[in-house]
Structure formats: C-alpha cells, structure tokens
C-alpha cells in the first residue's frame, strides 16, 4: 500500500490579466479571455525559477508530513523549465530541503505530466521497500513566445507530494493508477530553442481528449467504478474549457470538478497544473472521499489515478498554506513588468 503523507503547493504572487496582454497586441481581451477560459495568470518573480518554486512547495509538503527530511529516499522533479540543461533541479532541491546524500534524484520531462510519472515511479519504489518516502514535484515557470496564444495561458506554480507506505500516515491512499501513451506531436520545444511550438489541429481531439479520456475509461473499467462513485475529479487544465469538456464526456458533473478548476485565475503552470488542482481538492476534501485524477502531457500521454482520503487529512492540511492562500495573495503587474520578470527583455 502506498499513499500521500504530505503535500504542498506554491504560486508566485504576481498576476497579469488576459485583457492587459491583449491590449498590447490590439486584440479583444474579453473575447480571448472568454474563448480560453482564463482571466489572469500567475507570473514568477525575476528571482524565481522552477527550482525556487519547487523548494517552496517541497517545504510545505514536509510541514504537512511531519517527517525528517533525511528520511526522503527519492526526489523526482518534473518540469518543462529546468533552469539547467545539464545540472539537476532535483539535487539542488534535495540539498536545500536537507535530504542529505542517501537518496536518489532525477529530473523528469514529459511535458505537463512529468511529475505524475514521478509519482508512479516512486510508488513502485515505496511499495517494494527500496525507499521509505519519496517526493515528487511538478514545477514550472511556463514559457511562451510573445504574441503566441500560449502567452495568455502559460503560468507559474509548483506542487509537491510525499509518498510513503505506512497506512497510519496516509492523508490519501493511492487506490490504483494506469497510463495511456502514444507518439502524438501536439506541442514541442527543440533543444536550444527558447519557446515551444504547438501543432494546432493536434492539440484537441488527437492529443488531449484522446489520451485523457482513454486513460480515464481504462482505469474506470479496471477498478469497476463509475463517475458517480467519486466525490471529486481533477483533469489537466491547458485552458478553462478542455477539463470541463473531458469531465462531461466521461460523465462527471460540474460539482465534482469545481474545486480543482484554478486555470482561470493562475493559468496553466504545465507540470504543476493538474497537481495544483489536486492539491486544492485535498485542501477541502472530507474523510473517506474518492478523488479521480488524470494528468496529461504533450507528446503524448495521460496518467490516471484514484485516491481515497483519510480522516488524517483534515488535521494535517492545517499545518501548511493552502492553494487559496496563494491565490488570494496577489499583486497585478503591467505587460512591461511581465516581460522583465519573464526575462524576455
């Protein structure tokens, strides 16, 4: 048995409104905001990167877990914006958080689902007894070319989850998980190229919906469960519309997904997108509730999980800041300030 024994998120305080970006390019901001389902997004500070965001989320996860950092046996960081091409994010995070030297570390890349791949790998290591605890982190200061549609949605955030095998420590048990994968090039960034590209006609049906829905249906069939058996559902949020459409197609209700929908107010922080939505659900979920979760990564693949919360969750979540604490602590910036913080000028 493997479960979450600690979790935490971090969202930078800076925000820029969709309408402010649109005004610079002489576009209809209201129309763009409505079309994408994103009214504003989180922006990393000039001194923040995927490492610093990951450290903050990791600290919050350790606060809730109440364990010694030296007991962490594995640290996997998933990101599309690792600050170094050669020099691991995970070792910097591990050193700052005090993991010592007796742990395995790896940086993972699979677009927006790299961190959930890390959760799957750590689950196996914990279940086999090779490590006692493992931390998986999704952290991104998402990149977007000026005047690209991604500039309106690409955000910044980080979420961390500590997995363990002692049931008495579980905040949420991992009931089961599966993956669904194919070679579908909907989004990519070649080595040495600063900004990502996206293949328009691939991004919807062949990529996101095909993989998310296939993974979800496969897991529901495997576990003999139906959408009505769940209290909450979380889907990757590249924009404000896709997760709602996926949920409806699968049979989940708007009430089941409402607590996870944060893309409208922080944007899409890539590897941290679905995980931050999940973190927000853990902030409000009651005991013995089932959570259905599906991440998505371009290229393409989806990881689907089923979690069951425990009575310990309501006690432990008070030990760290909630996602809403970070959402509500915000400062709006102008487009020139945004360019400076994103290091585009």
Instruction: Tell me the CA distances in angstroms from 224 to 194, 228, 253, 308, one per residue in order.
Output: 45, 12, 19, 15
Is-contact 136 161, C-beta < 8 A?
yes
Please, where are the H alpha helices in the chain? 18-24, 29-36, 50-65, 89-97, 114-128, 210-223, 242-250, 254-257, 263-266, 273-284, 313-316, 323-328, 335-341
Predicted confidence pLDDT, tens digits, the chain (345 residues): 999 999 999 999 999 999 999 999 999 999 999 999 999 999 999 999 999 999 999 999 999 999 999 999 999 999 999 999 999 999 999 999 999 999 999 999 999 999 999 999 999 999 999 999 999 999 999 888 898 889 999 999 999 999 999 999 999 999 999 999 999 988 778 888 888 877 766 777 889 999 999 999 999 999 999 999 999 999 999 999 999 999 999 999 999 999 999 999 999 999 999 999 999 999 999 999 999 999 999 999 999 999 999 999 999 999 999 999 999 999 999 999 999 877 655
CA distance 165 to 127: 6
End-to-end CA distance of the chain: 49
CATH architecture observed for domain 176-313: 3-Layer(aba) Sandwich (3.40)
156 secondary structure, DSSP code? E
Is-contact 38 159, C-beta < 8 A?
no
pTM as predicted? 0.96
Determine the 3-state secondary structure of 271 from DSSP: helix
The ranges of the chain annotated as CATH 3.40.47.10 are: 3-170+315-341, 176-313
Is-contact 16 332, C-beta < 8 A?
yes
CA distance 22 to 152: 8
Tell me which residue of 3, 126, 6, 9 sits closest to 73, measured CA to CA.
126
CA distance 21 to 4: 38
Q: What is the DSSP string of 275-322?
A: HHHHHHHHHH--TT-EEEEEEEETEEEEEEEEEEE-TTHHHHGGGS--
The third-level CATH classification (topology) of the domain covering 3-170+315-341 is Peroxisomal Thiolase; Chain A, domain 1 (3.40.47)
- What positions carry a catalytic annotation? 80, 112, 236
């Amino acid at each position: 048995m493997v479960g979450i024994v600690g979790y935490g998120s971090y969202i930078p305080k800076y925000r820029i409104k969709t309408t402010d970006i649109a005004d610079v390019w002489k576009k209809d901001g209201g129309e763009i905001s409505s079309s994408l389902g994103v009214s504003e997004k989180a922006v990393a500070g000039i001194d923040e990167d995927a490492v610093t965001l990951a450290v903050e989320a990791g600290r919050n996860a350790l606060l809730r877990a109440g364990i010694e950092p030296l007991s962490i046996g594995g640290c996997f960081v998933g990101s599309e914006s690792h600050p170094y091409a050669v020099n691991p994010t995970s070792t910097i995070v591990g050193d700052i958080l005090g993991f010592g030297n007796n742990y395995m570390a790896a940086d993972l890349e699979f677009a927006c689902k790299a961190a959930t791949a890390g959760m799957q790998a750590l689950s196996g290591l914990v279940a086999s007894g090779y490590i006692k605890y493992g931390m998986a982190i999704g952290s991104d200061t998402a990149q977007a070319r000026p005047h690209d549609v991604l500039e309106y949605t690409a955000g910044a955030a980080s979420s961390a989850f500590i997995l363990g095998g002692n049931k008495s420590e579980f905040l949420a048990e991992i009931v089961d998980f599966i993956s669904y994968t194919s070679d579908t090039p909907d989004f990519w960034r070649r080595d040495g190229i600063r900004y990502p590209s996206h293949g328009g006609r691939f991004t919807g049906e062949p990529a996101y919906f095909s993989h998310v829905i296939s993974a979800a249906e496969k897991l529901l069939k495997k576990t003999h469960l139906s959408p009505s058996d769940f209290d909450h559902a979380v889907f990757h949020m590249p924009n404000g519309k896709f997760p709602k459409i996926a949920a409806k197609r699968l049979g989940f209700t708007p009430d089941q997904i409402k607590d996870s929908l944060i893309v409208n107010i922080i944007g899409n922080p890539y590897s941290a997108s679905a995980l931050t939505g999940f973190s927000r659900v853990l902030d409000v979920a009651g005991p013995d509730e089932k959570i259905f979760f599906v991440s998505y990564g371009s290229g393409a693949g989806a990881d689907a999980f089923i979690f069951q919360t425990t009575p310990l969750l309501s006690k432990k979540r008070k030990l760290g800041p909630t996602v809403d604490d970070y959402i509500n602590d915000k400062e709006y910036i102008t487009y020139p300030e945004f360019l400076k913080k994103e290091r585009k000028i």
